[in-house]
Structure 1
Amino acid sequence: MAKTKVLPKAKKPMSMEDIGYNIIFGILFTLLALLCAYPFYYLLICTISNNQMVEVGAITWRPVGIHFGNYKEILKVENLGNSVLITLARTVLGTGVSVFATAYTAYFFTKQEMWGKKFWYRFCVATMYFSAGMIPIYLNNRMLHLVNTFWIYIIPGMISVYNMVLLKTSMEAIPPDLEESAYLDGAGYFTRLFRIVLPLQKPILATVALFTAVGHWNDFFTTKLYITNPKLYTMQFLLYELLNQIQAQATQITNDTQLSATAATPTSIRLTLTAFVILPIMLVYPFVQKYFTKGIMMGAVKG
């Protein structure tokens, strides 16, 4: 029997009204995209422009007096390479451990048979609103022998209650029949978590991982508060110290002193540090952006 060939449906021609809407919205979204991209463009051109013109706000659309002295100034910082490795290790390991521990906790809060579920869940949520304070937290970390060790970056912030609530809400949307069928086949909690639940949570896991990674990457206060060993300094703390040094030097220069166009100023160094720090996160974001909106919607907190 000969197969009947199915012809593709002819596309309905667009009306003039639809074409007009597409043109108008195309122009509007192009202008909006340019408006969002301009701050990053402005940041980059300021880092390579005449520092004295940047200081007085004379740079607007194009770089003037192009030079790379600001980046050379940053690369001269002692111990920069080691601090970059510490920051990368902290971000990768801290993000992995935090996502696993948070997802693990959220999963067991979805189980009705968990002992004292309501009490422990409310106890965890209460920590979002109440804190012991900086001094008790510092003393607690010192008694745990975390001060001046790499693990101060990983263990205290291992579980985020906010992210746990997002994951718990998302996991509760999974049809219980999936886990029940696996349970009847002999699958335990860990098998169901890793084989069924987590593979279905990729969007929210990617979103939580992005939040956590940005937090680890940008944090410098933990180093300032707990670390005295230069070998454990993070890149952000090292660059923060550089900025303070540049500002201190600037206050010692009199108004009569004529500075060269490439002489580092607090403004030029601040802008260059910003570009230096946000570039890695900007490179990572496109890989998880497709999960971002879906992940937030999946983990939206229900009333």
Structure 2
Amino acid sequence: MTTLSLPRARGIDRSGGDIPFKLFNYLVFALFAVVCAYPFYYLIINSVSANDVAALGRVRLFPTGFHLENYTQVLDLGGLPSAAAVSVARTVIGTVATVLASGFLGFMFTQDRMWKRQFWYRAVIITMYFNAGLIPVFIIMKNLGLTNNFWVYVLPFIVQPFNIILVKTYIESMPRSLQEAAEVDGANILQIFFRVILPNTTPILATVAIFSAVAQWNSFQDTLLYITDQSLYTLQYQLYMFINQASSLAQAAQNAEGNLGMVASAATTQTPTSIRMTVSVIVVLPIIFIYPLFQRFFVKGIMLGAVKG
């Protein structure tokens, strides 16, 4: 009796075949990480290097003539502390409001009991593609009394259709039995949201928080359009003005030292380049530190919130 021998399936040689592929992946992603991180590193090393050398563009990889006078002088220019307080306040309040609104609306749009649910969902989503335009929006803000008002930073950004879509899709992937069990126990809609849904949607809400915090912190156009009161200027808007007025600010920082002949050296004398680099670092660093706090939720949240399970 003859037996037929089947050809052996060709598989991947996991003992050594995967090693070149993994090394190639690590190399590509390492280079990509360097390309992404280098602009921030470049800002930092130029802000702490000798100002005369940095102005010539000679600082590339390592600081030259390390000093921290740039930061002390820039912080003394005025306007930054109040602008930082406004930026922090709008970021915290705006992020909390956006997360709660996105979570609650995303939850409600999954409820059949909601009146005209499909209509309201489509009404919210359509705003992703159409808007009134700059002048009509400005007129609306003025008629609502939001010009020169802190709440112009918060109220227009609370309802974000993209975030609502993410949360809605995430909630739809959760077991329906969680809500049904709460309903059997007599929980109302708010109790279900705050005690059942909210604790179980941490990954997607953390993702929404990152999106909202970055958008709030980096925004400056709303200040440009709606605010003339200097006490309501944001840190990003101050950065915008500082960059446009770098030359005059450098002269002001030098004059703050008293007699120019008494300035320690050209290495610590403010230049337009040092103003731009230092203020950019001051504005960028806080938001950079936020991402690591939420990073462990980010990938899971964005994947589950983007694909319905």
TM superposition score category, shorter chain reference: 0.7 to 0.9
Q: Helix, strand or coil: the match of 1:299?
A: helix
2:127 aligns to what? 127
Q: Structure 1 residue 296 and structure 2 residue 302: aligned? A: yes
1:85 shift after superposition: 1.3
1:114 aligns to what? 114
Return the alpha-carbon distance in structure 1 between the equivalents of residues 192 and 229 of structure 2: 43
Return the alpha-carbon distance in structure 2 between the equivalents of residues 28 and 240 of structure 1: 35
Q: Identify the range of structure 1 (118-127 vs 37-46) with the bigger mean alpha-carbon deviation.
A: 37-46
Question: Residue 200 of structure 2 aligns to which amino acid in structure 1?
Answer: L
1:174 aligns to what? 174
1:119 shift after superposition: 1.7
Return the alpha-carbon distance in structure 2 between the equivalents of residues 29 and 241 of structure 1: 36
1:220 aligns to what? 220
- In the comparison of the two structures, how many residue pairs are matched? 283
Q: Identify the range of structure 1 (229-238 vs 30-39) with the bigger mean alpha-carbon deviation.
A: 30-39
Maintained 8 Å contact 1:84/1:234:
yes
1:80 shift after superposition: 1.9
Task: Return closer, same or farther for 1:247/1:110 CA change in 2, 3 Å cut-off.
Answer: farther
Q: Helix, strand or coil: the match of 1:113?
A: coil
Q: Identify the range of structure 1 (164-173 vs 109-118) with the bigger mean alpha-carbon deviation.
A: 109-118
Maintained 8 Å contact 2:90/2:216:
yes
2:77 aligns to what? 77
| Deviations 1:59-106, CA, capped at 9 Å, x for gaps | 112112223343233202223222211111111111111111121111
Maintained 8 Å contact 2:242/2:276:
no
Return the alpha-carbon distance in structure 2 between the equivalents of residues 179 and 249 of structure 1: 59
Return the alpha-carbon distance in structure 1 between the equivalents of residues 18 and 227 of structure 2: 61
1:232 aligns to what? 232
Task: Return closer, same or farther for 1:24/1:117 CA change in 2, 3 Å cut-off.
Answer: closer
Return the alpha-carbon distance in structure 2 between the equivalents of residues 149 and 198 of structure 1: 31
1:255-270 counterparts in 2 under 5 A? Answer: 260-270=266-276
Task: Return closer, same or farther for 1:147/1:32 CA change in 2, 3 Å cut-off.
Answer: closer
1:39 aligns to what? 39
Return the alpha-carbon distance in structure 2 between the equivalents of residues 119 and 297 of structure 1: 27
1:148-227 counterparts in 2 under 5 A? Answer: 148-227=148-227
Q: Structure 1 residue 278 and structure 2 residue 284: aligned? A: yes
Maintained 8 Å contact 2:107/2:193:
yes
Moved over 6 A (4+): 16-28
Q: Helix, strand or coil: the match of 2:197?
A: helix
2:96 aligns to what? 96
1:237 shift after superposition: 1.4
Task: Return closer, same or farther for 1:117/1:51 CA change in 2, 3 Å cut-off.
Answer: same
1:42-61 counterparts in 2 under 5 A? Answer: 42-61=42-61
1:37 shift after superposition: 3.8
Return the alpha-carbon distance in structure 2 between the equivalents of residues 29 and 240 of structure 1: 33
Maintained 8 Å contact 1:165/1:301:
no
Return the alpha-carbon distance in structure 2 between the equivalents of residues 225 and 179 of structure 1: 44
Task: Return closer, same or farther for 1:119/1:17 CA change in 2, 3 Å cut-off.
Answer: closer
Return the alpha-carbon distance in structure 2 between the equivalents of residues 27 and 212 of structure 1: 32
Maintained 8 Å contact 1:110/1:171:
yes
Q: Helix, strand or coil: the match of 2:156?
A: coil
Return the alpha-carbon distance in structure 2 between the equivalents of residues 273 and 267 of structure 1: 10
Q: Helix, strand or coil: the match of 1:260?
A: coil
Return the alpha-carbon distance in structure 2 between the equivalents of residues 133 and 25 of structure 1: 45
Aligned sequence identity (%) = 44
Question: Residue 291 of structure 1 aligns to which amino acid in structure 2?
Answer: F
Return the alpha-carbon distance in structure 2 between the equivalents of residues 239 and 23 of structure 1: 41
Return the alpha-carbon distance in structure 1 between the equivalents of residues 244 and 22 of structure 2: 50
1:171 shift after superposition: 0.8
* Unaligned ranges ≥5, structure 1: 1-13, 251-258
Return the alpha-carbon distance in structure 1 between the equivalents of residues 22 and 308 of structure 2: 36
Q: Identify the range of structure 1 (112-121 vs 198-207) with the bigger mean alpha-carbon deviation.
A: 112-121
Task: Return closer, same or farther for 1:146/1:23 CA change in 2, 3 Å cut-off.
Answer: closer
Task: Return closer, same or farther for 1:64/1:207 CA change in 2, 3 Å cut-off.
Answer: same
Give RMSD over aligned pairs.
2.7
Question: Residue 81 of structure 1 aligns to which amino acid in structure 2?
Answer: P
Q: Helix, strand or coil: the match of 2:158?
A: coil
Question: Residue 159 of structure 1 aligns to which amino acid in structure 2?
Answer: V
| Deviations 1:29-61, CA, capped at 9 Å, x for gaps | 666655544333222111112334333321112
| Deviations 1:276-301, CA, capped at 9 Å, x for gaps | 11111122211100011001001105
